[in-house]
Structure 1
């Protein structure tokens, strides 16, 4: 009887061990599937990752429609004969012609009052993705960058000050320059917008997106955001 009891206990012990072993295998398999699924999600899409402190995080998705302006500028578009849509990577000739139109006022001499405002505006934005200058102008108002994009932004700033300076604030003029800068460099601004969004900063505000306010924040992006479009127009 004692031998039989030992045998029964042994059978129960083995049966219990088998069930525990199977359960462990099932748990490991489920965990492996979950890890594979999450890895697959992080490896697809157009977001990429960004660095926040010592950890890497998934970049939120940002569409071109959120940040790339389109249509005709409300105040000056018809006056200068320009549209945001004219800066298009598929039509470099039109893009260059539009940049030339915006640049046509770059050589104008401003009044002392407008020059003070021009220096504030021009010092707040740069063409860092092309010529790498700290700003469009030096502190005395002289050109700090000789690329075509900088010429166009300086020209537009002067035009708006001379013709609409009484109705537009410095911030509004800076915002307009930012819109064109996004059009000149759509790809990098898509990445920058995603990083701004990840940091809970309004990525649709062109001062946040294109001025020197958050210059370099896109460097937090550890991988490509998947956006397309490099520089548009000659540098």
Structure 2
């Protein structure tokens, strides 16, 4: 009798361990899906807004990775910001390219700014001239100019704005994480355009401040 009870207990224990292991596996798969969709999808999971890896189209040719921007490595961070920002100073746009540049950074979704570092309406003026002198804005303008001139046929204006938004997210992860949480609460898609452009600028005001910016201003 005692032996039968022991055997039954062993069976129950084995089934319990199997269920626990299976549930842990499925939860792990779900977690991976959230992290991946946060980087590659149009909507970014609020818990994983910071892009990682090498930008697919231009990363290798520019010699940059999203991972180069990190609060744990200020030297590489500042060097990468300078490298990307140099394109802003070196690239001269044609009138047609400048028109597109202005549309992306000034008009589309009310433009994109460096509001956590300076108070400019956008990182450029309506004519395309720089409106903010911080290192982050040089880098964002550099990304836009590079993609317009080197990969203009591969990216739509919205996709270029989204790419610039990814870099802004790297520069201000705490503030934009906070913004993502507010957008989710309001049922608004957490795309990089919604997170980083001026479309919902200031929506996170009044909340507890997030972690500081990455890289010098």
Rounded Cα–Cα distance in structure 2 between residues aligned with 1:76 and 1:177: 13
Deviation track 1:91-150 (CA, whole Å, cap 9, x = no partner) reads 111001111111121122101111001011121100000012110100011110000000
2:100 pairs, out of 112, 117, 120, with 117
The equivalent of 1:175 in structure 2 is 162
1:135 pairs, out of 118, 122, 132, with 122
Where structure 2 has 5 or more consecutive residues not aligned to the other structure, the ranges are 1-44
- 1:215 counterpart = 2:201: yes
- 1:75 counterpart = 2:57: yes
**8 Å contact 1:88–1:232 — kept in the other structure?**
yes
1:198 pairs, out of 185, 192, 198, with 185
**8 Å contact 1:195–1:220 — kept in the other structure?**
no
Where structure 1 has 5 or more consecutive residues not aligned to the other structure, the ranges are 1-60
Q: CA deviation at 1:220?
A: 5.3
TM-score (norm 1): 0.69
Rounded Cα–Cα distance in structure 2 between residues aligned with 1:152 and 1:98: 9
TM-score (norm 2): 0.75
**Runs ≥4 in structure 1, deviation > 3 angstroms?**
none
Count, aligned residues: 168
2:83 pairs, out of 101, 104, 109, with 101
Structure 1 vs Structure 2 CA RMSD: 1.4
**8 Å contact 1:99–1:152 — kept in the other structure?**
yes
> Aligned runs of 1:52-71 on 2, under 5 Å?
62-63=46-47, 65=48, 67-71=49-53
Q: Bigger CA drift: 104-113 or 192-201?
A: 104-113
